[in-house]
Homo-oligomer: A and B are copies of this chain.
C-alpha cells in the first residue's frame, strides 16, 4: 500500500526517493519499542507520541511545534514535557538534534547511540540522515594531527534535495 505523504515529500533513510510512509513509521516505532523492551527503557505514551510526530513529518521540528501537537492531543502543555521526551529520544539514539536548526528529527536507523550526518533541504524542509563515516573519519584525521580528541561531532549540510533542485530550474 505504497502512497505519497503530503505535505512534504517522503524520503528514504539516506536518500530522497518515495517510499511507503505508513510502513516506515510503524516499522520504526516497532523497532524502537523492541529496543526499549530489550534494554529496560520505558517508551511511555508521551515519548512514543513525540517519536511518531517526528516520523510523520519526516523533517526537523522545533520543540514548540511538537508541544503544540501534544497540547492539542491533551498529552502535555508545558515546555518541559516536550523537552524531556526529546531528551529521552536523543539520549538513546532514537532521534537527533539538528544544531543548525535548533530542531529535532527522528533517527532513521534507531538503536545505537550514534552521531550522524544530516542533509537538510532548505526547499521542502526534509531532513535525511546520511552515513557520516567518511566525513567523520576525515575530521578525526584532522583532529588527530593536532592532538585533539573528539568526543562528539556535528556534521550537517544545508542545500537542495533532488526534487527541489529540479523545481528550481526554470
Contacts and interface: CB of A to CB of B under 8 A. Distances in A.
Contacts of A105: none
For this chain, the copies found in one complex come to 2
Contacts of A99: 99-100, 154, 156
A53 interface: no
A65 interface: no
Given A99-B156, A155-B135, A130 B150 contact: no
Given A151-B160, A158-B151, A158-B152, A142 B135 contact: yes
Contacts of A142: 117, 119, 130-131, 134-135
Contacts of A157: 139, 143, 148, 150, 152-154
A1 interface: no
Residue from the set A119, A122, A135, A150 with the largest chain B CB neighbour count within 10 Å: A135
Nearest to A11: B146
A154 B151 contact: no
A122 to B, nearest CB: 7
A121 B150 CA distance: 9
